[in-house]
Structure 1
Protein backbone atom coordinates (compact mmCIF):
# COMPACT_ATOMS: atom_id res chain seq x y z
CA UNK A 1 0.00 0.00 0.00
CA UNK A 2 1.33 3.40 -0.98
CA UNK A 3 1.79 5.82 1.88
CA UNK A 4 0.48 9.34 1.25
CA UNK A 5 2.56 12.37 2.05
CA UNK A 6 1.61 14.74 4.83
CA UNK A 7 0.29 18.14 3.69
CA UNK A 8 3.60 19.75 4.67
CA UNK A 9 5.69 17.24 2.70
CA UNK A 10 3.36 17.47 -0.30
CA UNK A 11 3.57 21.28 -0.32
CA UNK A 12 7.34 21.50 -0.77
CA UNK A 13 7.47 20.71 -4.48
CA UNK A 14 4.51 22.96 -5.44
CA UNK A 15 5.96 25.76 -3.29
CA UNK A 16 9.31 25.52 -5.03
CA UNK A 17 7.61 25.37 -8.43
CA UNK A 18 5.45 28.45 -7.79
CA UNK A 19 8.43 30.34 -6.34
CA UNK A 20 10.63 29.53 -9.31
CA UNK A 21 7.89 30.51 -11.78
CA UNK A 22 7.45 33.80 -9.92
CA UNK A 23 11.18 34.37 -9.95
CA UNK A 24 11.45 33.53 -13.66
CA UNK A 25 8.68 36.05 -14.46
CA UNK A 26 10.44 38.70 -12.38
CA UNK A 27 13.76 38.19 -14.13
CA UNK A 28 12.15 38.07 -17.59
CA UNK A 29 10.37 41.36 -16.91
CA UNK A 30 13.63 42.78 -15.54
CA UNK A 31 15.49 41.92 -18.74
CA UNK A 32 12.66 43.16 -21.00
CA UNK A 33 12.04 46.46 -19.20
CA UNK A 34 12.89 46.83 -15.51
CA UNK A 35 10.40 49.68 -15.02
CA UNK A 36 7.60 47.15 -15.57
CA UNK A 37 8.50 45.55 -12.22
CA UNK A 38 6.56 48.30 -10.43
CA UNK A 39 3.65 48.44 -12.86
CA UNK A 40 0.20 47.52 -11.66
CA UNK A 41 -0.53 45.14 -14.50
CA UNK A 42 2.58 43.06 -13.79
CA UNK A 43 1.59 42.73 -10.14
CA UNK A 44 -1.97 41.83 -11.09
CA UNK A 45 -0.86 39.25 -13.68
CA UNK A 46 1.60 37.70 -11.22
CA UNK A 47 -1.16 37.50 -8.59
CA UNK A 48 -3.52 35.74 -11.00
CA UNK A 49 -0.83 33.23 -12.00
CA UNK A 50 -0.03 32.65 -8.32
CA UNK A 51 -3.68 31.92 -7.41
CA UNK A 52 -4.22 29.65 -10.40
CA UNK A 53 -1.12 27.63 -9.51
CA UNK A 54 -1.89 27.31 -5.81
CA UNK A 55 -5.44 26.12 -6.60
CA UNK A 56 -4.14 23.73 -9.25
CA UNK A 57 -1.59 22.15 -6.91
CA UNK A 58 -4.10 22.07 -4.05
CA UNK A 59 -6.68 20.22 -6.14
CA UNK A 60 -3.96 17.89 -7.40
CA UNK A 61 -2.97 17.06 -3.81
CA UNK A 62 -6.61 16.54 -2.82
CA UNK A 63 -7.02 14.10 -5.72
CA UNK A 64 -3.83 12.24 -4.76
CA UNK A 65 -5.12 11.61 -1.23
CA UNK A 66 -8.46 10.24 -2.35
CA UNK A 67 -10.48 13.26 -3.39
CA UNK A 68 -11.24 14.56 0.10
CA UNK A 69 -9.35 16.93 2.36
CA UNK A 70 -10.27 18.56 5.66
CA UNK A 71 -9.81 22.26 6.29
CA UNK A 72 -6.74 21.82 8.53
CA UNK A 73 -4.85 19.72 6.00
CA UNK A 74 -5.81 22.08 3.18
CA UNK A 75 -4.58 25.03 5.24
CA UNK A 76 -1.26 23.33 6.06
CA UNK A 77 -0.70 22.44 2.42
CA UNK A 78 -1.61 25.92 1.16
CA UNK A 79 0.33 27.84 3.79
CA UNK A 80 3.53 25.81 3.42
CA UNK A 81 3.38 25.99 -0.39
CA UNK A 82 2.81 29.76 -0.29
CA UNK A 83 5.52 30.24 2.35
CA UNK A 84 8.11 28.28 0.37
CA UNK A 85 7.13 30.18 -2.76
CA UNK A 86 7.57 33.46 -0.88
CA UNK A 87 10.99 32.44 0.43
CA UNK A 88 12.22 31.50 -3.05
CA UNK A 89 10.81 34.69 -4.55
CA UNK A 90 12.24 36.91 -1.81
CA UNK A 91 15.69 35.34 -2.06
CA UNK A 92 15.62 35.85 -5.83
CA UNK A 93 14.60 39.49 -5.46
CA UNK A 94 17.31 40.09 -2.88
CA UNK A 95 19.78 38.62 -5.36
CA UNK A 96 18.41 40.86 -8.13
CA UNK A 97 18.42 44.09 -6.08
CA UNK A 98 21.64 43.53 -4.13
CA UNK A 99 23.91 41.54 -6.48
CA UNK A 100 22.72 41.47 -10.11
CA UNK A 101 21.79 45.16 -10.38
CA UNK A 102 22.47 47.19 -7.22
CA UNK A 103 21.40 50.39 -9.02
CA UNK A 104 17.94 49.00 -9.78
CA UNK A 105 16.39 49.84 -6.38
CA UNK A 106 17.24 53.52 -6.85
CA UNK A 107 15.72 53.55 -10.34
CA UNK A 108 12.57 51.74 -9.20
CA UNK A 109 12.23 53.96 -6.13
CA UNK A 110 12.40 57.09 -8.30
CA UNK A 111 9.82 55.69 -10.72
CA UNK A 112 7.57 54.69 -7.82
CA UNK A 113 7.87 58.22 -6.43
CA UNK A 114 6.91 59.71 -9.80
CA UNK A 115 3.95 57.32 -10.11
CA UNK A 116 2.81 58.16 -6.59
CA UNK A 117 2.92 61.90 -7.26
CA UNK A 118 1.09 61.46 -10.57
CA UNK A 119 -1.60 59.41 -8.80
CA UNK A 120 -1.96 62.09 -6.11
CA UNK A 121 -2.38 64.75 -8.78
CA UNK A 122 -5.00 62.67 -10.60
CA UNK A 123 -7.03 62.71 -7.37
CA UNK A 124 -6.67 66.48 -7.10
CA UNK A 125 -3.83 66.65 -4.59
CA UNK A 126 -0.85 68.69 -5.68
CA UNK A 127 2.71 67.66 -4.94
CA UNK A 128 3.40 71.37 -4.41
CA UNK A 129 1.15 71.26 -1.35
CA UNK A 130 3.59 68.89 0.33
CA UNK A 131 6.62 70.24 2.14
CA UNK A 132 10.09 69.21 0.96
CA UNK A 133 10.46 67.27 4.22
CA UNK A 134 7.31 65.27 3.47
CA UNK A 135 8.52 64.50 -0.05
CA UNK A 136 11.93 63.44 1.30
CA UNK A 137 10.26 61.24 3.91
CA UNK A 138 8.09 59.63 1.22
CA UNK A 139 11.13 59.06 -1.03
CA UNK A 140 13.14 57.57 1.86
CA UNK A 141 10.28 55.23 2.75
CA UNK A 142 10.08 53.99 -0.82
CA UNK A 143 13.84 53.53 -1.08
CA UNK A 144 13.94 51.67 2.25
CA UNK A 145 11.54 49.07 0.83
CA UNK A 146 14.19 48.00 -1.67
CA UNK A 147 17.01 47.57 0.86
CA UNK A 148 17.89 44.16 2.28
CA UNK A 149 16.30 45.11 5.61
CA UNK A 150 13.24 46.47 3.85
CA UNK A 151 12.83 43.31 1.82
CA UNK A 152 13.13 41.13 4.93
CA UNK A 153 10.56 43.30 6.76
CA UNK A 154 8.30 43.04 3.73
CA UNK A 155 8.62 39.27 3.83
CA UNK A 156 7.72 39.29 7.53
CA UNK A 157 4.55 41.23 6.78
CA UNK A 158 3.88 38.97 3.80
CA UNK A 159 3.77 35.92 6.10
CA UNK A 160 0.59 37.34 7.66
CA UNK A 161 -0.88 37.85 4.20
CA UNK A 162 0.19 34.32 3.23
CA UNK A 163 -1.74 32.94 6.20
CA UNK A 164 -4.88 34.84 5.19
CA UNK A 165 -4.58 33.65 1.59
CA UNK A 166 -4.00 30.08 2.81
CA UNK A 167 -7.18 30.29 4.91
CA UNK A 168 -9.17 31.34 1.84
CA UNK A 169 -7.59 28.66 -0.36
CA UNK A 170 -8.20 26.01 2.32
CA UNK A 171 -11.85 27.00 2.60
CA UNK A 172 -12.24 26.53 -1.13
CA UNK A 173 -10.20 23.30 -1.36
CA UNK A 174 -11.74 21.47 1.60
CA UNK A 175 -14.05 18.65 0.68
CA UNK A 176 -15.44 16.11 3.08
CA UNK A 177 -16.56 12.57 2.36
CA UNK A 178 -20.33 12.68 2.85
CA UNK A 179 -20.53 8.89 2.71
CA UNK A 180 -19.03 8.85 6.21
CA UNK A 181 -22.01 10.79 7.62
CA UNK A 182 -24.44 8.69 9.66
Structure 2
Protein backbone atom coordinates (compact mmCIF):
# COMPACT_ATOMS: atom_id res chain seq x y z
CA UNK A 1 0.00 0.00 0.00
CA UNK A 2 1.44 3.40 -0.95
CA UNK A 3 1.87 6.16 1.64
CA UNK A 4 -0.98 8.34 0.37
CA UNK A 5 -3.49 5.48 0.51
CA UNK A 6 -2.28 4.51 3.99
CA UNK A 7 -2.68 8.11 5.21
CA UNK A 8 -6.24 8.20 3.82
CA UNK A 9 -7.13 4.86 5.41
CA UNK A 10 -5.68 5.83 8.81
CA UNK A 11 -7.33 9.26 8.65
CA UNK A 12 -10.73 7.71 7.96
CA UNK A 13 -10.32 5.24 10.83
CA UNK A 14 -9.21 7.92 13.28
CA UNK A 15 -11.80 10.40 12.02
CA UNK A 16 -14.63 7.97 12.73
CA UNK A 17 -13.11 7.19 16.12
CA UNK A 18 -12.96 10.90 17.04
CA UNK A 19 -16.51 11.38 15.72
CA UNK A 20 -17.71 8.60 18.04
CA UNK A 21 -15.94 10.29 20.97
CA UNK A 22 -17.59 13.57 19.99
CA UNK A 23 -21.06 12.02 19.93
CA UNK A 24 -20.53 10.28 23.29
CA UNK A 25 -19.39 13.55 24.89
CA UNK A 26 -22.33 15.41 23.37
CA UNK A 27 -24.82 12.83 24.62
CA UNK A 28 -23.28 12.87 28.11
CA UNK A 29 -23.42 16.68 28.26
CA UNK A 30 -27.00 16.65 26.97
CA UNK A 31 -28.00 14.18 29.70
CA UNK A 32 -26.29 16.30 32.38
CA UNK A 33 -27.87 19.56 31.20
CA UNK A 34 -29.36 20.00 27.72
CA UNK A 35 -28.39 23.68 27.52
CA UNK A 36 -24.96 23.42 29.17
CA UNK A 37 -23.02 23.50 25.92
CA UNK A 38 -24.87 26.66 24.85
CA UNK A 39 -24.41 28.58 28.09
CA UNK A 40 -21.12 27.43 29.63
CA UNK A 41 -17.96 28.98 28.25
CA UNK A 42 -15.93 26.59 30.43
CA UNK A 43 -17.63 23.55 28.85
CA UNK A 44 -17.07 24.93 25.34
CA UNK A 45 -13.43 25.73 26.05
CA UNK A 46 -12.87 22.32 27.68
CA UNK A 47 -14.26 20.48 24.66
CA UNK A 48 -12.20 22.63 22.29
CA UNK A 49 -8.97 21.94 24.20
CA UNK A 50 -9.79 18.22 24.48
CA UNK A 51 -10.26 17.93 20.72
CA UNK A 52 -7.06 19.80 19.94
CA UNK A 53 -5.20 17.37 22.21
CA UNK A 54 -6.95 14.40 20.57
CA UNK A 55 -6.14 15.72 17.08
CA UNK A 56 -2.46 16.13 18.01
CA UNK A 57 -2.32 12.59 19.44
CA UNK A 58 -4.05 11.18 16.36
CA UNK A 59 -1.73 13.14 14.06
CA UNK A 60 1.37 11.86 15.83
CA UNK A 61 0.05 8.30 15.70
CA UNK A 62 -0.72 8.51 11.97
CA UNK A 63 2.73 9.98 11.32
CA UNK A 64 4.33 7.07 13.23
CA UNK A 65 2.27 4.51 11.30
CA UNK A 66 3.36 5.92 7.93
CA UNK A 67 7.04 5.72 8.79
CA UNK A 68 7.61 8.59 11.20
CA UNK A 69 7.85 11.28 8.53
CA UNK A 70 5.36 13.20 6.45
CA UNK A 71 5.21 16.43 4.52
CA UNK A 72 3.00 19.38 5.29
CA UNK A 73 0.70 18.30 2.44
CA UNK A 74 0.39 14.75 3.73
CA UNK A 75 -0.36 15.98 7.25
CA UNK A 76 -2.91 18.50 5.94
CA UNK A 77 -4.63 15.78 3.91
CA UNK A 78 -4.94 13.62 7.03
CA UNK A 79 -6.32 16.43 9.19
CA UNK A 80 -8.69 17.55 6.45
CA UNK A 81 -10.19 14.06 6.12
CA UNK A 82 -10.62 13.87 9.90
CA UNK A 83 -12.12 17.37 9.94
CA UNK A 84 -14.68 16.54 7.26
CA UNK A 85 -15.79 13.47 9.21
CA UNK A 86 -16.08 15.49 12.44
CA UNK A 87 -18.04 18.30 10.77
CA UNK A 88 -20.47 15.94 9.02
CA UNK A 89 -20.98 13.92 12.20
CA UNK A 90 -21.57 17.01 14.35
CA UNK A 91 -24.15 18.35 11.92
CA UNK A 92 -25.95 15.01 11.64
CA UNK A 93 -25.96 14.66 15.42
CA UNK A 94 -27.43 18.15 15.87
CA UNK A 95 -30.15 17.56 13.28
CA UNK A 96 -31.16 14.25 14.85
CA UNK A 97 -31.05 15.74 18.35
CA UNK A 98 -33.04 18.87 17.55
CA UNK A 99 -35.51 17.36 15.08
CA UNK A 100 -36.28 13.99 16.63
CA UNK A 101 -34.79 13.46 20.10
CA UNK A 102 -35.38 16.87 21.72
CA UNK A 103 -37.37 19.16 19.41
CA UNK A 104 -37.82 21.70 22.23
CA UNK A 105 -34.04 22.15 22.62
CA UNK A 106 -33.72 25.21 20.31
CA UNK A 107 -36.36 27.01 22.36
CA UNK A 108 -34.81 25.96 25.70
CA UNK A 109 -31.30 26.84 24.57
CA UNK A 110 -32.42 30.23 23.20
CA UNK A 111 -34.08 31.07 26.52
CA UNK A 112 -31.00 29.96 28.48
CA UNK A 113 -28.66 31.96 26.22
CA UNK A 114 -30.84 35.06 26.56
CA UNK A 115 -30.88 34.66 30.35
CA UNK A 116 -27.09 34.29 30.45
CA UNK A 117 -26.62 37.33 28.20
CA UNK A 118 -28.95 39.47 30.33
CA UNK A 119 -27.16 38.38 33.49
CA UNK A 120 -23.76 39.23 32.02
CA UNK A 121 -24.90 42.62 30.75
CA UNK A 122 -26.41 43.44 34.15
CA UNK A 123 -23.08 42.61 35.79
CA UNK A 124 -21.44 45.10 33.43
CA UNK A 125 -23.91 47.73 34.62
CA UNK A 126 -26.00 48.12 31.48
CA UNK A 127 -29.51 49.55 31.88
CA UNK A 128 -32.70 47.80 30.86
CA UNK A 129 -32.98 49.77 27.59
CA UNK A 130 -29.38 49.03 26.63
CA UNK A 131 -29.90 45.33 27.35
CA UNK A 132 -33.05 45.21 25.23
CA UNK A 133 -31.26 47.02 22.41
CA UNK A 134 -28.33 44.59 22.55
CA UNK A 135 -30.69 41.59 22.54
CA UNK A 136 -32.59 43.05 19.58
CA UNK A 137 -29.33 43.43 17.64
CA UNK A 138 -28.36 39.81 18.28
CA UNK A 139 -31.54 38.61 16.56
CA UNK A 140 -33.84 35.69 17.24
CA UNK A 141 -31.63 33.06 18.87
CA UNK A 142 -34.24 30.31 18.60
CA UNK A 143 -34.39 30.85 14.85
CA UNK A 144 -30.59 30.62 14.68
CA UNK A 145 -30.62 27.31 16.56
CA UNK A 146 -33.38 25.62 14.54
CA UNK A 147 -31.97 22.87 12.30
CA UNK A 148 -33.09 24.51 9.05
CA UNK A 149 -31.28 23.91 5.78
CA UNK A 150 -29.70 27.38 5.96
CA UNK A 151 -28.52 26.87 9.56
CA UNK A 152 -27.14 23.40 8.83
CA UNK A 153 -25.26 24.68 5.80
CA UNK A 154 -23.93 27.67 7.76
CA UNK A 155 -22.88 25.47 10.66
CA UNK A 156 -21.12 23.07 8.30
CA UNK A 157 -19.33 25.93 6.55
CA UNK A 158 -18.17 27.47 9.82
CA UNK A 159 -17.03 24.05 11.08
CA UNK A 160 -15.04 23.38 7.91
CA UNK A 161 -13.46 26.84 8.05
CA UNK A 162 -12.45 26.43 11.71
CA UNK A 163 -11.20 22.88 11.18
CA UNK A 164 -9.38 24.03 8.04
CA UNK A 165 -7.44 26.66 9.97
CA UNK A 166 -6.77 24.18 12.77
CA UNK A 167 -5.62 21.62 10.18
CA UNK A 168 -3.18 24.12 8.67
CA UNK A 169 -1.74 24.93 12.10
CA UNK A 170 -1.46 21.29 13.20
CA UNK A 171 0.04 20.26 9.84
CA UNK A 172 2.70 22.95 10.14
CA UNK A 173 3.51 21.82 13.68
CA UNK A 174 3.46 18.06 13.08
CA UNK A 175 5.19 17.84 9.69
CA UNK A 176 8.49 16.05 9.90
CA UNK A 177 11.04 15.69 7.13
CA UNK A 178 12.96 12.49 6.68
CA UNK A 179 16.64 12.99 7.44
CA UNK A 180 18.90 13.43 4.48
CA UNK A 181 21.48 10.69 4.37
CA UNK A 182 24.82 11.29 2.77
CA UNK A 183 26.90 8.46 1.49
CA UNK A 184 30.44 9.26 2.63
CA UNK A 185 31.93 6.09 1.18
CA UNK A 186 33.39 6.48 -2.31
CA UNK A 187 31.66 4.47 -4.97
CA UNK A 188 33.87 1.72 -6.34
CA UNK A 189 33.15 0.63 -9.86
CA UNK A 190 33.99 -2.91 -10.75
Shorter-chain TM band? 0.7 to 0.9
Aligned-residue offset at 1:138: 3.0
Q: Is the alpha carbon distance of 1:117 and 1:131 closer, same or farther for their aligned partners in structure 2, counting shifts above 3 Å?
A: closer
Residues 143-173 of structure 1: per-residue CA shift (max 9 Å, x gap): 1221123233112122111110000110111
Contact 1:29 1:36 in 2 (8 A): yes
Does structure 1 retain, via aligned residues, the 8 Å contact 2:94–2:147?
no
Match of 1:8? Answer: 8
5+ residue gaps in structure 2? 184-190
Contact 1:117-1:127 within 8 A present in 2 as well = no
The runs of 5 or more residues in structure 1 that have no matched partner are none
Greater displacement, 99-108 / 151-160: 151-160
The TM-score, its normalising length taken from structure 1, stands at: 0.88
- Structure 1's consecutive aligned runs of 4 or more residues displaced over 4 angstroms after TM superposition are none
Output the aligned Cα RMSD. Answer: 2.1
Partner Cα separation in structure 1 for residue 182 and residue 37 of structure 2: 50
Tell me the residue number matched to 1:120.
121
Q: Greater CA deviation, 18-27 or 149-158?
A: 149-158
What is the CA–CA distance in structure 1 between the aligned matches of 2:110 and 2:84, rounded to whole Å? 26
The residue aligned with 1:163 is 164
Moved more, 107-116 or 149-158: 149-158
The TM-score with structure 2 as length reference comes to 0.85
Distance 1:168 1:70, change over 3 A: same
What CA distance in whole angstroms lies between the structure 2 residues aligned with 1:107 and 1:139?
Answer: 16
Partner of residue 142, structure 2: 143
